[in-house]
Amino acid sequence: MVQLLEGAPVAKRIRDEARAGAAALSPPPTLVVLLLGNDPASETYVASKTRAALEAGVRAETVRLPSGSPPEALLDAVAAANRDPSVDGVLVQMPLEPGHDPSRVIDALDPGKDVDGLHPENVGLLHQGRPRFVPCTPAGILALLDHYGVPLSGRRAVIVGRSALVGRPLAALLTARDATVTLCHSRTRDLPAVCREAEVLVAAIGRPGFVTAHFVQPGATVVDVGINRLGSIDDAPENLRRSGRIADAISAKGSAIVGDVDFDDVSRVAARVTPVPGGVGPLTVAMLIHNTVLAAQMRRAGGVDGTS
């Protein structure tokens, strides 16, 4: 029977550790979230991050910029948070509206306050094997695998998706743990065959139910990073339309959240799999709070020194 790798107990431990770290600091750590426009999904994510921060004893402030604000207004808000000595962590909620250059905004962040771990300086430190702030979702995935005792050293890991938020930093983390890593993308030839070589398979491609049992080696560990909302069973790919569980959720709630993995199909062959929701999701927010407390500890200790 497949083992569910649930994120809640791991996230609770990380949040509890962050709460203890925050309680030891005076004044408490402060996180500023910059939110451009009024995208409903972004509003929901910011609310969950703010709530988690407050529960951990971290001050949280959301700076809202109206929809249509020019790039200079967002860059000015980033500069203000960088200069503010009371602010320990700064996060710019993505995606940005058209007309804004995400790379320019990320480059403008103070790397010592970049709790999303996306500034080029922090990316470089990660790939040099001396991470400061690790992007939250990859860090959460590693914590999840460690919690459930999934072996990594010498194992074959395949990541489907090469984004700067998940795929690339996760590849660096797994490589540092002596896994042999293949990073797949839209031009990977015979993707199912490559995935079947994986003892640890991570799906982060943003396509509901894309990974089926045909992609999975029997006994593999499968980590599903996808979060896809289906408003109708007609929005689902053919393989998910057969799922009574998804159809029932849509009928009862008007929508269903599914991952990039066909959970029912993959559960027939995998040894371990993360559920969606309830797997990786809770860990992303928990690691954000961890990074904020870490940033505050480093600043109180006399500045950022490039170690964790």
Pairing of strands 156-160, 59-65: unpaired
Q: Report whether 93 contacts 36 (CB < 8 A).
A: yes
Specify whether domain 14-111+284-300 bears CATH 3.40.50.10860: yes
Q: Report whether 66 contacts 37 (CB < 8 A).
A: yes
- What is the C-alpha separation between 123 and 121, in angstroms, rounded? 5
- What is the C-alpha separation between 201 and 160, in angstroms, rounded? 8
Q: Which of 240, 200, 239 is nearest to 217 (CA)?
A: 200
Please list, in sequence order, all residues whose beta carbon lies within 8 angstroms of the beta carbon of residue 53, skipping any fewer than 6 positions away.
31, 59, 60, 288, 289, 292
Long-range contacts (CB closer than 8 Å, 24 or more residues apart) made by 251-255 = 255/229, 255/230, 255/231
- What is the C-alpha separation between 18 and 168, in angstroms, rounded? 26
Say yes or no: do domains 14-111+284-300 and 136-283 share a fold.
yes
Question: pLDDT per residue over 138-153, tens digit each?
Answer: 999 999 999 999 999 9
> What is the predicted pLDDT for the residue at 303?
59
> What is the predicted pLDDT for the residue at 106?
98
Q: Which of 218, 257, 271, 264 is nearest to 239 (CA)?
A: 264
Pairing of strands 228-230, 30-36: unpaired
> What is the predicted pLDDT for the residue at 247?
86
Q: How many CB atoms lie within 10 A of CB 154?
A: 10
Q: HSE of 111 in the Cβ direction (CA atoms, 13 Å)?
A: 16
Domain ranges of the chain: 14-111+284-300, 136-283
Q: Which of 262, 247, 158 is nearest to 210 (CA)?
A: 262
Q: Which CATH number fits domain 136-283: 3.90.650.10, 3.40.50.261, 3.40.50.720, 3.10.20.30?
A: 3.40.50.720
Owner of token pair 């996760």: 170
Both structure tokens of 109: 């962040």
Question: pLDDT per residue over 193-236, tens digit each?
Answer: 999 999 999 999 999 999 999 999 999 999 999 999 999 988 88
Q: Give per-10-residue mean pLDDT for the chain (308 aa).
A: 97 98 97 95 92 96 97 98 98 96 98 98 96 97 98 98 96 98 96 98 96 98 96 90 86 92 97 97 97 96 55
Both structure tokens of 124: 């470089």
Q: Which residues make beta-bridge pairs with 182?
A: 158
Q: HSE of 241 in the Cβ direction (CA atoms, 13 Å)?
A: 7
Query: What is the distance of C-alpha 212 from the center of its chain?
Result: 22
Backbone angles phi, psi at 286, to 5 degrees: -60, -40
Catalytic sites, residue numbers: 49, 93, 116
| Amino acid code (one letter) for 246 | I
